[in-house]
Amino acid sequence: MATHPLRPWRHIDRRKSRKIRVGTVEVGGDAPISVQSMTNTDTGDVAATLAQINACAEAGADIMRVSCPDEAATRALKEICRESPVPIVADIHFHYRRAIEAAEAGAACLRINPGNIGNATRVREVINAARDHGCSIRIGVNAGSLEKHLLDKYGEPCPEAMIESGLEHIRILEDNDFHDFKISVKASDVFLAAAAYQGLAEATDAPIHLGITEAGGHFAGTVKSAIGLGNLLWSGIGDTLRVSLSADPVEEVKAGFEILKALGLRHRGVSIISCPTCARQGFDVIKTVSILEERLAHIHTPISLSIIGCVVNGPGEALMTDVGFTGGGAGSGMVYIAGKQDHKLNNDQLVEHIIELVEKRAAEIEKEAGA
Ligand code: SF4
């Protein structure tokens, strides 16, 4: 739960869900909201798939999903699961054999809708395979692929149809005494997704996987996801999330973390507070921030850094950050440490010096946490 003893207006009350496991990662309950992404390589190309998983894990992904459209994919999955630094969710559509193969190959979770894989015997076989291999299941309802009987009943994809679809899949798992599942009700429309998730959150205590599906390209998709997911997370809904972008999966991970960081629900790496710049700036803020973002990407410890162009807002922002720099006159500015003025610094030493300070502070925070 995100609480702040001195700033109660920062508080988000998380919905109480039950906890499940996706391999080594807990999802639901009081577990941190996990960030997921999905590979877009040919799953059969183990090296390329693992390279993408590793890049996402390095960016902070807690869980990665991999498509398993055919037998070659589930064959490759064995090595992928063995070598991956994070648990793997196998993405299965319709084919019960792929689900069983994925469970046998070491997937930590199956993304499959039990109502779409055939008769009760097949469903039971998949559930037994999941149980035998310690796999959880993610029910993934999508507005774009609702069951025909629900479209006939409701006329078009709507929150009620999506919730009903989710509850039907849940019932199948529960009838088979399987409870290690989470659920998503994704739509590309933020209103539809939000209403479906809100209804679902009231109808079940299962952990909820959030997503605005097919959100779009990097920039527009990030904005749309931030609005849709941000609204739900702010109201306490969501135990794990994926931002879906037509972009490098690493960008999905970064966007996911930024959304959680903005809401104070999760902290990772350097949070840079910087001004939009204007004629008052005492140094090139935009260029400096862009270099710092890249050069500080290796730091995973939560730490805040303010880089502000002038004294209008610099000292005030620096009060609330671990390290700060505020532009001044005559080619120099002021460095702040833990909110206090510390020393003057020439602009030409800015980047290297700030990197040094942030690395030092990150090491201290790590040490304090380990003590
Ligand atoms: Fe302009 Fe100073 Fe505000 Fe930055 S902090 S936008 S430089 S007034």
Three-class SS state of 36? strand
237 domain residue, yes or no: yes
The reply to whether ligand 1 has any atom less than 6 angstroms from the CB of 312 is yes
Domain of 295, CATH number, reads: 3.30.413.10
DSSP secondary structure letter of residue 245: -
The reply to whether ligand 1 has any atom less than 6 angstroms from the CB of 313 is yes
Q: pLDDT band at residue 216, thresholds of 50, 70 and 90?
A: confident
**In the prediction, which pLDDT does 30 show?**
95
The reply to whether ligand 1 has any atom less than 6 angstroms from the CB of 307 is no
The reply to whether ligand 1 has any atom less than 6 angstroms from the CB of 279 is no
Q: Do 181 and 315 share a domain, yes or no? A: no
List strand residue ranges (DSSP E) for 129-249, in order. Answer: 136-142, 181-186, 209-210, 240-242
- pLDDT tens readout for residues 17-73: 999 999 999 999 999 999 999 999 999 999 999 999 999 999 999 999 999 999 999
Distance between Cα 287 and ligand 1 center (Å): 15
**In the prediction, which pLDDT does 116 show?**
83
Torsion, CA 348, CA 350, CA 355, CA 358, rounded to 10: 160
Alpha-carbon distance of 311 to 329, in angstroms, equals 10
The fraction of the chain above a pLDDT of 90, given in percent, is 88
The mean-pLDDT minimum among 11-15, 283-287, 367-371 falls in 367-371
**In the prediction, which pLDDT does 11 show?**
87
Averaged over 198-222, what is the pLDDT?
Answer: 95
Q: Do 126 and 175 share a domain, yes or no? A: yes
222 domain residue, yes or no: yes
Averaged over 166-171, what is the pLDDT?
Answer: 96
Q: Do 64 and 30 share a domain, yes or no? A: yes
- pLDDT tens readout for residues 189-206: 999 999 999 999 999 999
User: Residue 217: which residues within 8 A CB-CB, separation 6 or more?
Assistant: 245, 246, 247
List strand residue ranges (DSSP E) for the chain, in order. Answer: 20-22, 25-27, 34-38, 63-67, 88-91, 109-111, 136-142, 181-186, 209-210, 240-242, 270-274, 303-308, 323-327, 332-337, 340-346
92 domain residue, yes or no: yes
For residue 252, pLDDT over 50 is answered with yes
For residue 354, pLDDT over 50 is answered with yes
For residue 1, pLDDT over 70 is answered with no
Domain that holds residue 215: 14-262
Tell me phi and psi for residue 126, to 5 degrees: -65, -45
Distance between Cα 308 and ligand 1 center (Å): 7
Name the residue at shortest CA distance from atom 2 of ligand 1. 310
* Number of domains making up the chain: 2
7 domain residue, yes or no: no
